[in-house]
Structure 1
Amino acid sequence: MSASLTVPTAAPAVGDRIASVTLSSVTLPLPNAISDAKVFTGRQRPMTEVAFLFAEIRTEGGFEGVGFSYAKRAGGPAQFAHAREVAPDLIGEDPSDIGRIWTRLVWAGASVGRSGAATQALAAIDVALWDLKAKRAGLPLAKLLGAHRDSVRCYNTSGGFLHESIDQVRANATRTLEEGIGGVKIKVGLPDSAEDLRRVAAVREHLGDGVPLMVDANQQWDRPTAMRVGRALERFGLVWIEEPLDAYDVEGHAALARSLDTAVATGEMLTSVAEHHALIKVGAADVLQPDAPRIGGITQFLRLATLAEVDHLQLAPHFAMEIHVHLAAAYPHEPWVEHFDWLHPLFEERLEIRDGRMLISDRPGLGVTLSDQLRAWTVDSVTVHAPHRS
């Protein structure tokens, strides 16, 4: 007679519920006004601040997750307003059902579309849910996603802007390397392309041939200029030329990528997976540069990363290193993460950088705690919670 088989009892499908969501609009002042090529071509004013949307999600079981999105120049109040409208739909939801929640919130605001400010508002919520999920598991987010590495190559951008003299940019580059950062990116795209070439030549000479160097034109070249300057830049051994053309000029980027030996990088200004897919389909980017807060959060970033990996693309997420270090660590091919120190005042913790690489901390979730300074810079805040039951 065979032994009786004991069938284990399944655990409840729902272990927790979202009890409240706090949304905060935060304005981060920059120490100095920042100028890239868009300022020198007259399309933008110097940037003096960055607007952030923070989402703090709490569950009935006492877990908390934090996420953020951002807007440079205009857009911050719009993100806050949209998030405030859809946040009530979160209450009572199982926080583990992140994909379903994202879809529900998208449909809550379907009349304003599935990209841009609408989904950037959802990004803060989506990131908070992933942070919460990793904290519940007691894991850094990278480990929850399935890390391929415990550190990621990193390069600095914040020391290479055009409002600073070339002498200052060289000094910034020296400091960057002394801090353990592995590469340097400088801005180009000036109306005088000869000046761009002089700046790149000066930095390359200063760094030597062995230091990874990137340039970023911030979409300010037309097709003939991008081709001409791109060919002139070949001699500097650049890792990539970033945003040489308008972000939506898919065919122009594809033609440039086919013509140059230097890799073409783009994608940071796009606001959906579909827009990035258009780049991928025609080979318009050797290096894809998605921004999780801009495309709708981590859920959307992971969809895009799968598409990028299938085509064996390099990945170099834009800005928001506190989020992207985890996502880059989970990408199969060796990626880059962009180092900006602008967000330091918003968090209690700092990412560790050593030997050219940004390390994944052992703290659960994103590994960040909101600072008192962030609270002081909060210009509006609202908490949505379940109705009181008597």
Structure 2
Amino acid sequence: MSSKIKKIKVHTHCNDLGGKIWNPSIRWTNKYAVFVTLNDSAGNVGIGECWCFDTAPDALVAYLRTEVAPHFLDQALADVPVIARGLFEKATLTARHGMLASALAGIDIAMWDLTAGHENTPLWRSLNKQGSGAAHLYASGGLYGEGKSVDDLCKEMSSQTARGFALTKMKIGALSLQEDTARVKAVLAAIPKSTKLIIDGVYSYSYEDALRLFEALPAERIEAFQSPTKAWDYKGMAHLTKAGVPVMATEAEYRPEIHDRLIEDVGVAFLQTAPVAVGGLTQVATLASKVNGTQTRLSLEVSSTAIALMAAIHAAAAYVEVAHVEYHTVHTVFFDSLALERRKEEPFRMAPPNKPGLGISLPEHKVLMAFEETSNTSP
């Protein structure tokens, strides 16, 4: 018999970034994270994280308390995906799909953490025993900053390659086309020729300008052009794809119909998704199945904490369809808790710890309790 969920706790964390760095859409001040902890009837604990991009976590926390958590108390772990699907179908009437996907992600990841713990195996093996067991990480940074010169940017990106990253990412789109093209060229000149670059336009360009920028760069050095146009400009992204641009889209999208369109109609090179935004690891598995046999591969977004990063690494370790995982150099909350094993035979492939579950726990002394719901029935 599957163990049942007897307690659900939600914690929050605030990372103060001071407003000194930005991308074309956001100046980073306070960055919040929301965590879900599940305790089961066997006395085990699982941890998950939710997508939280708001100026405060209050709305998501309230939604978890009133609309999500009550549906999972006293329910078997094996029934979590079924319950989640039912809630998502009912959300058609409430128009809360996005917040629901974020909330369910925390529940789902914690459920997989518990399940792998019961199986006494690393989480990726619970997802797919045939997985490679490791993930290709890329260093993500290159934001704009107060007083940050092109030389400063080049030093930052070079430091990432010095750490062993064979793939890095930087932001563009906040300056003129000419200025940002020059920034990218300067970075490419500063890093080893064997290192490739992801350029992230943060939905800033028309497809014509995106193509001009890409054509001004050495195509063999560009792994992907992330979010080159507005998220809804499927026609523009399709034009770029046909022109040979390796389009990466989008980031936090959770709607299956949008994923289908990006894979089938646009034919993006990389479908980027965040496990903590799309609904959790169960949904990553669904996307891996969708891109299998297509020209599209998955790339997993992480811009929050080590909990989200470890979940993404396990997903990449499970599914060959995941090309790479974002290792952020700015959003690094709890990264000192990471225990990763480097695979020396390939450029910056990392394996999660050979421990049951996620292989990481929530440092509760560093987070704030938002609420706790406990079952009133006996185990």
Partner residue in 2 for 1:366: 358
Describe how 1:14-163 pairs up with structure 2 within 5 A.
Answer: 14-30=1-17, 33-38=20-25, 44=26, 46-74=27-55, 76-85=57-66, 86-106=68-88, 111-113=93-95, 115-146=97-128, 147-158=130-141, 160-163=142-145
In 2, the alpha carbon distance for the partners of 1:301 and 1:199 equals: 34
SS in 1 for 2:209: helix
**Pick aligned residue for 1:321 from 298, 305, 309:** 309
**Pick aligned residue for 2:195 from 188, 201, 211:** 211
The answer as to whether partners of 2:288 and 2:321 remain within 8 angstroms in 1 is no
**Pick aligned residue for 2:185 from 198, 201, 207:** 201
Deviation, 1:372, is 4.5
| Partner amino acid, structure 2, of 1:26 | H
In 2, the alpha carbon distance for the partners of 1:334 and 1:104 equals: 27
In 2, the alpha carbon distance for the partners of 1:133 and 1:105 equals: 21
SS in 2 for 1:153: strand
The answer as to whether partners of 2:195 and 2:221 remain within 8 angstroms in 1 is no
SS in 1 for 2:174: coil
**Pick aligned residue for 1:259 from 243, 253, 272:** 243
| Partner amino acid, structure 2, of 1:187 | K
The answer as to whether partners of 2:207 and 2:239 remain within 8 angstroms in 1 is no
Partner residue in 2 for 1:345: 334
Aligned-pair Cα RMSD in Å: 2.2
| Partner amino acid, structure 1, of 2:136 | R
1:235–1:299 distance in 2 versus 1, CA, 3 Å: closer
SS in 1 for 2:260: helix
In 2, the alpha carbon distance for the partners of 1:275 and 1:150 equals: 29
In 2, the alpha carbon distance for the partners of 1:321 and 1:194 equals: 34
| Partner amino acid, structure 1, of 2:324 | W
In 1, the alpha carbon distance for the partners of 2:294 and 2:253 equals: 19
In 1, the alpha carbon distance for the partners of 2:84 and 2:322 equals: 28
Deviation, 1:132, is 0.8
SS in 2 for 1:112: coil
1:111–1:24 distance in 2 versus 1, CA, 3 Å: farther
What per-residue deviation string (whole Å, max 9, x for no partner) do you get for residues 130-158 of structure 1?
11111111111111112531322211112
What per-residue deviation string (whole Å, max 9, x for no partner) do you get for residues 140-188 of structure 1?
1111112531322211112x11223222222222221232322111111
Partner residue in 2 for 1:5: none
The answer as to whether partners of 2:274 and 2:300 remain within 8 angstroms in 1 is yes
1:92–1:373 distance in 2 versus 1, CA, 3 Å: closer
**Pick aligned residue for 1:331 from 319, 322, 327:** 319
Query: What percent identity do the matched residue pairs reach?
Result: 25
SS in 2 for 1:156: strand
The answer as to whether partners of 2:133 and 2:318 remain within 8 angstroms in 1 is no
Alignment partner of 1:381 is 2:367: no
TM-score, normalization by structure 1: 0.87
Deviation, 1:352, is 4.0
Deviation, 1:289, is 0.6
In 2, the alpha carbon distance for the partners of 1:162 and 1:364 equals: 39
In 1, the alpha carbon distance for the partners of 2:340 and 2:170 equals: 22
Deviation, 1:230, is 2.3
SS in 2 for 1:226: helix
1:313–1:235 distance in 2 versus 1, CA, 3 Å: closer
The number of equivalent residue pairs is 365
TM-score, normalization by structure 2: 0.89
The answer as to whether partners of 2:31 and 2:53 remain within 8 angstroms in 1 is yes
In 2, the alpha carbon distance for the partners of 1:346 and 1:235 equals: 33
Deviation, 1:124, is 0.7
| Partner amino acid, structure 1, of 2:160 | T
Q: Which runs of 5+ in 2 are unaligned?
A: 303-307
1:81–1:358 distance in 2 versus 1, CA, 3 Å: same
Partner residue in 2 for 1:305: 288
| Partner amino acid, structure 1, of 2:353 | S
The answer as to whether partners of 2:262 and 2:268 remain within 8 angstroms in 1 is yes
What per-residue deviation string (whole Å, max 9, x for no partner) do you get for residues 232-283 of structure 1?
23456211111101112222111111112x4111121312232211211203
What per-residue deviation string (whole Å, max 9, x for no partner) do you get for residues 187-236 of structure 1?
11134111111111111111132112111110000122122222223456
| Partner amino acid, structure 1, of 2:340 | L
